Chain A
Amino acid sequence: MSQALIQAGSKLLNALGRHSDLIMQAYVSGHVNEQEYSKKVLEQLVQLQVLWRPEPQSPLRLKAAVRTLLEGSLQDERNRTINANIGASLASLKTLTEHYKEALHYNRFNEAHAHMSDLTEHVYQLTESLANSVRVMFSRINNEFGYVSSVEAKIRENELAQSQVSELLTQLECFRFDELSELAGSNRELRQLLVVALQQNFSKAAQELSVAQARLLELLGRFREFQGRTRLLKGFLLHMEQQPDFTPGNYANLSDVPVLFNQAGGMLNEASADVNNVEHEQDLQQLVGALTDIHRRQPDAEKHQPASEIDVSEQDTISLEKAPVQLAVEAYFCQVIDSGQPCSALTYYEAQQLDFDPEVWLYQVIGGYQALNDQDKQYFALDPTGEAHAIFNGNFYINDITLGLR
């Protein structure tokens, strides 16, 4: 490389750095606002081939090379152009290879070395441009053409992308690896460049492009569906505006209701607590314990009832009526007292022709005797007549009771 070339290059890069705001403004807005910058600066940039004027009246614009550089480095999604000219690149590769082989043949090693580095540059350029094209394609697919708003525009963008993908795929067919491999011959370096590097990138690009193509078709389908839905909704509203009293036929009345309108009503309700289930006892207790406020419904009547008057008159005495069997027992005791003779309870029972159960009568007599206070009890003697049980000792069966005075 000559010294002059290096100097010119660094001069250009310096100019780019110095006027970066101008260049970025031109990149974003598409042209340079010439009033804002000095004429000298603009002229310098035009001379350096950074800016150019497409027509005498039009404003200054960025050169395509600078724009491509920025788009590539910034990964700007506005970059929609895809360099699909693989055929031309391949032709130049072949030419350079011939140069290299010829130089080697005549032992001009310096020249061969220069050709080799040139060739390397071209090969990597080609692979990079391939990878770049695929990347651009995918970034557009991934944000679903977000840079345009309407669905129609998205569909157009999609169609453009599809044509670019198919163009790229046809260009990829230009790769003839048998030819390249023949060209490289037995030279190791050439084989590395022309066969290995290119083939790897080729297969990667082809694979990704086919995926991209499938995604694009899928997206197109979705956009078309969106379009259809939008039309459906708008058409419905339009129809309702034109015929406000439109009602669809009553599909629920048809003998065979379409499944869309056959939607069963909800039927499940909450279950209730089962207080008899022992397993739930713990949980229910916890629930009750966690209650902070029990909303008992207050009976309304209580609130509004006037205070009742307090009755202070003397209460009537209540006489408890005795049961007939008790009266009969009293009469029996009185008769024993009156006659002064002991008398068996059952004899009295028969004499008076009482109609209680005899056993109840006996119990009542014993009860009546026991109910007397101790002083009264001393006047009477109560003798049970009966027999001991034949087998079980200590059991005594009472048949009758004789009551007498002591």
Chain B
Amino acid sequence: MMSEAGRILSQLLEGKFICQVTDEEAWRFLKRRENADTLEPHLNMLNRTLASSAEGEVFFAAYLTLGEAERKTLLNQFQETTSSLVPLVEWLILVQQAGEADVPVTMGSAIRLNELQSVIEDTPAYAEQLEKISRYRLFNSTSVNLDGQLKQVFKRLTDLGYLVKPNTDKQIYLATGRIEHLYDVIKFIDETESLSLSEQAEAAISQGSLI
């Protein structure tokens, strides 16, 4: 049998994100400084180190030193991340608007697929938006009906680790810490490229209200 530390170590080495939603026990384990310190030498041996984002809510393994091969992996990853930003953001906004509470999707928010589907079905603008989202290469849906598109999008998001489905029989998804990671990435891009995205949005909203 593998110890708890071993199990967590292997999850990290598999490139998984560990947060409270995906694996609460592992997350609690890593939250304790001394536990994290016991894993660190093992990770270091494989040129990895324990990293966290979203204010310590998400843990993952990062490279310790960057050589040629590591840079290549990171470059690929970065390209993937940037190309999937727009589809993901559009999906997040769609879910937020179609949800009753108008609350952004955050770690732990529950998305009930049936409710979401009925709202989208009743609102042609959302249905159009969903169709557009599902056609992105990230989701790669070829389905013509709304049901298939929605299922494909959610399946892909679950595969990518943005959502988990705690009960396989129920169509209820929980957002994981990767969503928080995504927000962090957008925030980072906003700050480094000095895009001032929030101000742009606010300006657009106030202009809209004037018209």
Interface residues, chain A, CB within 8 Å of chain B? 146, 149-151, 226, 228-240, 247-253, 257-268
A-side interface mostly? helix
Cross-chain contact A249 with B106 (CB below 8 angstroms): no
Bound together, the chains give a CA A79 to CA B149 distance in angstroms of 43
B109 to chain A minimum Cβ distance, whole angstroms, is: 11
- Provide the residues of chain A in CB contact with B71, threshold 8 Å: 252-253
Cross-chain contact B93 with A248 (CB below 8 angstroms): no
A358 to chain B minimum Cβ distance, whole angstroms, is: 66
Known: A240-B86, A248-B82, A263-B77. A235 touches B195 (CB 8 A): yes
Residue of B46, B106, B204 near A229 (CB, 8 A) is B106
Query: What per-residue 1/0 map shows which CB atoms of B93-106 lie under 8 Å from chain A?
Result: 10010001111101
- B85 close to A (CB within 8 Å): yes
A134 to chain B minimum Cβ distance, whole angstroms, is: 25
Q: Which of B26-34, B136-144, B163-171, B178-186 contacts A (4 or more CB under 8 A)?
A: B178-186
Bound together, the chains give a CA A147 to CA B196 distance in angstroms of 32
Cross-chain contact B96 with A230 (CB below 8 angstroms): yes
Cross-chain contact A146 with B197 (CB below 8 angstroms): no
- B36 close to A (CB within 8 Å): no
- B145 close to A (CB within 8 Å): no
Cross-chain contact B104 with A259 (CB below 8 angstroms): no
- Provide the residues of chain A in CB contact with B93, threshold 8 Å: 233-234, 237
Chain B contact-residue range equals 35 or more
- Provide the residues of chain A in CB contact with B193, threshold 8 Å: 248-249
B40 to chain A minimum Cβ distance, whole angstroms, is: 14
- Provide the residues of chain B in CB contact with A234, threshold 8 Å: 93, 201, 204
Interface residues of B in 136-166 (CB under 8 A from A): none
Interface residues, chain B, CB within 8 Å of chain A? 10, 13-16, 46-48, 51, 53, 60-63, 66, 70-71, 73-75, 77-78, 81-82, 85-86, 89-90, 92-93, 96, 100-104, 106, 181, 183-190, 192-193, 195-202, 204
Bound together, the chains give a CA A365 to CA B75 distance in angstroms of 82
- Provide the residues of chain A in CB contact with B199, threshold 8 Å: 235
- Provide the residues of chain B in CB contact with A229, threshold 8 Å: 104, 106, 183
Bound together, the chains give a CA A390 to CA B48 distance in angstroms of 77
- Provide the residues of chain A in CB contact with B89, threshold 8 Å: 233, 236-237
- Provide the residues of chain B in CB contact with A261, threshold 8 Å: 74, 77-78, 81, 185
Cross-chain contact B183 with A237 (CB below 8 angstroms): no
- Provide the residues of chain A in CB contact with B82, threshold 8 Å: 247-248
B23 to chain A minimum Cβ distance, whole angstroms, is: 16
A152 to chain B minimum Cβ distance, whole angstroms, is: 9
Pairs A-B, 5 closest by C-beta atoms = A235-B197, A266-B15, A235-B201, A252-B74, A252-B78
- Provide the residues of chain A in CB contact with B62, threshold 8 Å: 259, 262-264
Cross-chain contact A231 with B201 (CB below 8 angstroms): yes
Number of A-B contacts (CB under 8 A): 133
Bound together, the chains give a CA A242 to CA B146 distance in angstroms of 29
Cross-chain contact A260 with B13 (CB below 8 angstroms): no
Known: A151-B102, A248-B82, A252-B71. A239 touches B200 (CB 8 A): yes
Bound together, the chains give a CA A262 to CA B186 distance in angstroms of 15
Bound together, the chains give a CA A233 to CA B198 distance in angstroms of 8
Closest B residue, CB atoms, query A250: B78
- Provide the residues of chain B in CB contact with A253, threshold 8 Å: 71, 75
Cross-chain contact B198 with A231 (CB below 8 angstroms): yes
- Provide the residues of chain A in CB contact with B70, threshold 8 Å: 264
Bound together, the chains give a CA A229 to CA B189 distance in angstroms of 14
Bound together, the chains give a CA A258 to CA B74 distance in angstroms of 11
Closest A residue, CB atoms, query B196: A235
- Provide the residues of chain B in CB contact with A226, threshold 8 Å: 103-104, 106
Known: A237-B90, A237-B93. A260 touches B183 (CB 8 A): no
- Provide the residues of chain B in CB contact with A262, threshold 8 Å: 51, 62-63, 66, 74
A229 to chain B minimum Cβ distance, whole angstroms, is: 4
Closest A residue, CB atoms, query B105: A229
Cross-chain contact B73 with A238 (CB below 8 angstroms): no
Cross-chain contact A260 with B197 (CB below 8 angstroms): no
* 22 A-B pairs with C-beta separation under 8 A: A149-B101, A226-B106, A232-B183, A232-B190, A232-B197, A235-B190, A235-B199, A236-B190, A237-B86, A238-B201, A239-B200, A247-B82, A252-B74, A252-B77, A260-B185, A261-B185, A262-B62, A262-B66, A263-B74, A264-B47, A265-B73, A267-B15
Bound together, the chains give a CA A261 to CA B106 distance in angstroms of 20
Bound together, the chains give a CA A253 to CA B200 distance in angstroms of 28
Closest A residue, CB atoms, query B61: A264
Known: A235-B195, A249-B192, A253-B75. A264 touches B53 (CB 8 A): no
